[in-house]
Amino acid sequence: MTKKSQKNQVFSPYLYFTRDDWARLRAATPLSLTEEELERLRGLNERISLDEVSDIYLPLSRLLNLYVGATQKLFTATNTFLGNPAQKVPYIIGIAGSVAVGKSTTARIIQALLARWPNHPKVDLITTDGFLYPNRVLEQRGLMNRKGFPESYDVRRLIEFVAAVKSGAPEVKAPVYSHLEYDILPDQYQVVRQPDIMILEGLNVLQTNRTGRKRGPQLFVSDFFDFSIYVDAEEELIQRWYLERFHTLRETAFRNPNSYFHRYAHMSAEEADAFARRIWKEVNGVNLRDNILPTKHRADLILEKGPSHAVQSVRLRKI
96 Cα distance to chain centroid: 4
Q: Looking at 30-44, 148-162, 238-252, which range is the least confident one?
A: 30-44
How far is the CA of 302 from the CAs of 106, 107, 155, 190, 233, in angstroms? 12, 13, 24, 28, 10
CB atoms inside a 10 Å sphere around CB 218: 11
Phi, psi of 193 (to 5 degrees): -120, 85
Q: Are 6 and 25 in contact (CB under 8 A)?
A: no
In a domain, 239, yes or no: yes
If one counts the domains in the chain, the total is 1
In a domain, 7, yes or no: no
Phi, psi of 121 (to 5 degrees): -75, -20
How far is the CA of 189 from the CAs of 144, 185, 249, in angstroms? 23, 8, 25
pLDDT of residue 128: 98
- On the question of pLDDT at 214 being above 80, the answer is no
pLDDT of residue 82: 86
In a domain, 5, yes or no: no
In a domain, 281, yes or no: yes
Domain that holds residue 244: 12-313
- The string of pLDDT tens digits covering residues 238-289 is 999 999 999 998 888 888 888 988 888 888 989 999 999 999 999 999 999 9
pLDDT of residue 210: 58
- The string of pLDDT tens digits covering residues 140-154 is 999 999 999 999 999
In a domain, 70, yes or no: yes
Q: What is the CATH number of the domain that holds 30?
A: 3.40.50.300
pLDDT of residue 38: 87
In a domain, 309, yes or no: yes
Which of 97, 49, 45 has its CA nearest to residue 276? 45
In a domain, 4, yes or no: no
CA distance 50 to 54: 6
3-state helix, strand and coil shares in percent for the chain, rounded to the nearest 5: 45, 20, 35
In a domain, 2, yes or no: no
- For CA atoms 283, 287, 290, 296, give the dihedral sign: negative
Give the pLDDT band (50/70/90) at residue 5.
very low
Average pLDDT for the chain: 90
